[in-house]
Amino acid sequence: MKKKCSKILMFILMIVSSIFFPSAYAADDDKKSYIIIFKQAELVESEAPLQTLIKNGADTSEIMSSGTDEAKQDIVDELNLDGEVIDIYDGINGILVNINLTEANRLSALDQVESIEEDSMIPEAAFSTQKNAGWGLARIHQSTATSDNSYQYEYDGSGRTIYVLDSGLNINNPKVATEFGGRASIIWDVNFSGKGEDCTGHGSMVSSAAAGKTYGVAKGVTLKMAKISKGCSRTASLAASVKAFNWIAGNAPRGSIVNWSYGFRDRGPRIRIPCIRKYSSPALEAAIKKAYNAGIFVVIPAGNDACDTKNYSPTNIPESFVVGSTSNLDFANGKDRIASFSRTGTNISGFAPGTNLLLMNKNGQPTSNSGTSFSAPYVAGIIAVVCEFEGTLCESGNKDMATLYHLFRKTGTLNTVTNTDGTTLTGATSRFISQQW
């Protein structure tokens, strides 16, 4: 295998190095992290002429499976790269490099490069603290905007797995451990401590909404936390998110669910004109598409700036099951009004409660918060419950993911969600996703 990988590696390096020229770099040209996605190569034989390989792009899947230091250094050496290869993303034909702007511009001009973008920090989908919560679970098991102040269920997601990519979870805290009853584990920590500790509370609240015994929808599901936020920050790097989705695509069983409660926000000027900026990340979109094509349900919050989901990655792609928020402000009168902060958009799959939700904080104690960050894991939990109810439907391969997404949308109730003023919802399909099992 090593001999085969080395041979393929040399072909790839020959492709790139044949169109590179040594260059001098400005001393003050700071190096930054960039994610490079190569065009997918057609199947070609190893003895194919070099021109054919160049035309078809660089297929890095063979050498990316290991991401070894040796492979990384070989790429650096052969490219005469003034920088380093930090990571290799086998699933999406990409690499993470530390280079300067001059080199980035050179790379972007190559025929076999699909995209190149600077790594960036992605904020948690924002939330605000409010008191006197508790209506969310009571609402979510009803098909209409009514409540009997209880959460009734027959299925709890047993046998299913939800991957949460977030700020961590303090599973060594006795109260947190009790809430999940041994069903939660840490599978990765971007900080390389392996502990996955949550010091912002965001990951704890998201996890509790999806799978908590007291606070969650899927009370029997297995939860696997990947901490993608740096230290105690409220942001995760783009590279960490791409790496996590890439790993899930290659390792998570078909029919698994992943929840990513982060999102790019409107980047308007300081004197703010709302929703005039757009943000697209080809690397993040490619990683999510790879997971989706591997049979993974990808649940994403719509976002909290009241803009349109079509203008931001990854809520702009059909591979994301996008969830908006409803408010409890008029719930007592039997109405599901869209939360004032929730984005709209024709590609929103459905809505779920998103204000004044009863959740678990990082210490395992009750807290109240609002945001599409927490509507999304409610729906992730519902998907786990439905997959349990349907047996092997979600992982059998008899249905493609587009069909499964459509089937899940059909379980929602139409025409119950309204605008904030109670009028007919505009800008998105009025669909409330409820837990009926």
CB atoms within 10 A of CB 114: 17
Considering 256, 349, 373, 434, which one is annotated as catalytic?
A: 373
- Token pair, residue 81, equals 């790269």
Q: Which helix (H) or strand (E) holds 161?
A: strand 161-166
User: Kind of pairing, strands 321-327 and 336-338?
Assistant: antiparallel
DSSP category for residue 199: S
Query: Do 38 and 81 touch, CB atoms closer than 8 A?
Result: no
Nearest CA to 252 among 220, 219, 281, 287? Answer: 287
Kindly write down the DSSP assignment for every residue of 293-304, as one continuous string. Answer: HTT-EEEEE--S
How far apart (Å, rounded) are the C-alpha atoms in residues 409 and 402?
A: 11
Query: Do 311 and 279 touch, CB atoms closer than 8 A?
Result: yes
Active-site residue flag, 166: yes
Considering 59, 166, 198, 308, which one is annotated as catalytic?
A: 166
Considering 74, 119, 167, 202, which one is annotated as catalytic?
A: 202
Angle between helices 69-79 and 2-17 (to 10 degrees): 30
Query: Do 324 and 344 touch, CB atoms closer than 8 A?
Result: yes
Query: Do 275 and 343 touch, CB atoms closer than 8 A?
Result: no
Exposure of 271 by Cβ count < 10 A (0-12 exposed, 13-18 middle, 19+ buried)?
exposed
How far apart (Å, rounded) are the C-alpha atoms in residues 14 and 53?
A: 10
Active-site residue flag, 373: yes
Cα atoms in the Cβ-side hemisphere of radius 13 Å centred on 335: 14
* Catalytic annotation, residues: 166, 202, 373
